[in-house]
Structure 1
Amino acid sequence: MAHPQSHAPYLWLDKTVLITGAGQRVGRELGELLAGKGARVWLGTRKPEEFDQLVGMLRTRCRNITAIALDIADDESIAEAVAEVGRREGRIDVLINIADIAPHRGNPALGLDKDMTRACLDVNFVGPWLAAQHALPLLRRSCSAMVVNVTSGMDGTGFEEEPAPERGGAGNRAPAAGLHLLSRVVATELRMEAGLRKSGAVRILSVAPPAGGAGMAAAEQIVAAIARPSSEPSRPS
């Protein structure tokens, strides 16, 4: 399995892309953007029936978009969705984890509700980790595979930015920090494993669009980060 050349932009034509958390606006915009570049896009959402009309509309511009049931907080749901994409496509080239909940905006870290904080961890940290686990066998069938973890409230060094209300509170910023670190650890492990196997590594990216980015603007920033030559977790400028 060949590793993509570091100087070449990522080519989306005929790539199979699974986006988790696509119920958010940026997920939908990202799906449309990538489908327009020739990728076969699967939009994972907890309620795919709500996407029927949207997907129908998008297909008038790009036919290669499909909605699929995927609850990022449910291990079984993730496994079933990944398996269905595998049955239909044979591989996954790019997994993009974009789900994010931030219910504690403005609340102090030591005043957070325990149950909601655990829900944030499930969606913002544990879910992306499980999605990568389930998708890895299908990613290894690709010659240019990558996992993109979209986080909030992080810069490219792994340290939190100065607090900003649009970033949310500790309920989503702490999981974002954990996911950023996890991305770096997994990237290193997969590079070491690829060296032993003399094959290409699955690329791991951690991307944090700038504060205030939304919709198509954030989607374009994510795509720009993916196109960068470095395989280290990064933050678009």
Structure 2
Amino acid sequence: MSEPTIALVTGANKGIGYEIAAGLGALGWRVGVGARDRQRREAAVEKLRAAGTDAFAVPLDVADDASVAAAADLIADQVGGLDVLVNNAAIGGALPQTPTTVDPATVRAVVETNVIGVVRVTNAMLPLLRGSASPRIVNMSSSVGSLALHTTPGIDMGPIPVAYLASKTFLNAVTIQYGKELSDTKILINSACPGFTATDLTDFRGARTPRQGAAIAIHLATLPDDGPTGGFFDDAGPVPW
């Protein structure tokens, strides 16, 4: 019997992250539930296991160097490898967030989690991913980070909190550069837009369910070896940068 594919999903204790973990678990994968809150993390693992997923807990604060290093050590020592990383953990930041009213500290906090956290986790997990036969990295982004969509006449993206918006534009740029640097490896890395999804990040105003929002991440996590890298996708296909 072949060894199961091993994935780590950050921010997997609820919402889209939980549904990504559940969807990958339904494929027979072993899934690490990365989350800061111990109680929510353990509850998510228990719920996933009850549904048949081979889930394990990964204490993980993406904004903390020591926490990320410890998570990488835990996976290496207790699991023995990693095939897929889904960087899902993100925050929206305090309001108001119009450009003229946003507190610079809010911008700094959002970027620390939504961008620097992705870099921190990705780089810590790369040694494990390099040992995989088909490594994949998925960065959960948003179409609100698309400069093309924001500047296309006739398209109204609505009033988007500027710190969150800028963090997703930044994340997309980082994904492009990872794709270029890792182009001579087996690692495929892409940004994913889940659509306007009803989660606590959107005050549950989205039209899509977390399970629907998770679908694009599951698709990109299961790309064939000749799949795209350094791209930005939603359910309909490529999203303009």
Percent identical:
26
SS of the equivalent of 2:31 reads strand
Alpha-carbon spacing, 1:163–1:105, altered in 2? closer, same or farther (3 Å): farther
Could you tell me which amino acid in structure 1 is paired with residue 23 of structure 2? L
Alpha-carbon spacing, 1:222–1:17, altered in 2? closer, same or farther (3 Å): same
Is contact 1:32–1:62 with CA below 8 Å preserved after alignment? no
Is contact 1:150–1:207 with CA below 8 Å preserved after alignment? yes
Q: Which residue is equivalent to 1:71? A: 61
Q: Which residue is equivalent to 1:176? A: 168
Q: Which residue is equivalent to 1:57? A: 47
1:233 aligns with 2:227: no
TM-score w.r.t. length of structure 1:
0.83
Q: How many residues align?
A: 215
SS of the equivalent of 2:7 reads strand
TM-score w.r.t. length of structure 2:
0.81
Q: Distance in 2 between matches of 1:158 and 1:35?
A: 34
Q: Distance in 2 between matches of 1:50 and 1:210?
A: 25
Alpha-carbon spacing, 1:110–1:160, altered in 2? closer, same or farther (3 Å): farther
Q: Which residue is equivalent to 2:219? A: 224
Alignment of 1:1-237 (within 5 A): 14-104=4-94, 107-154=97-144, 159-161=148-150, 162-164=156-158, 168-191=160-183, 194=184, 200-211=185-196, 212=206, 213-227=208-222, 229-236=227-234, 237=236
Unaligned ranges ≥5, structure 2 = 151-155, 197-205, 237-241
SS of the equivalent of 1:102 reads coil
Instruction: Work out which structure has the larger RCO, using CA pairs closer than 8 Å and 6 or more positions apart in sequence.
Output: 1
Alpha-carbon spacing, 1:171–1:160, altered in 2? closer, same or farther (3 Å): farther
Q: Deviations over 1:81-109 (max 9, x none)?
A: 11101112221111110112113566312
- Report deviation, 1:20: 1.1
Is contact 2:133–2:186 with CA below 8 Å preserved after alignment? no
- Report deviation, 1:57: 2.6
Alpha-carbon spacing, 1:140–1:225, altered in 2? closer, same or farther (3 Å): closer
- Report deviation, 1:17: 0.4
- Report deviation, 1:59: 0.9
- Report deviation, 1:24: 3.6
Unaligned ranges ≥5, structure 1 = 1-12, 195-199
- Report deviation, 1:210: 1.9
Q: Distance in 1 between matches of 2:149 and 2:71?
A: 32
Is contact 1:24–1:99 with CA below 8 Å preserved after alignment? no
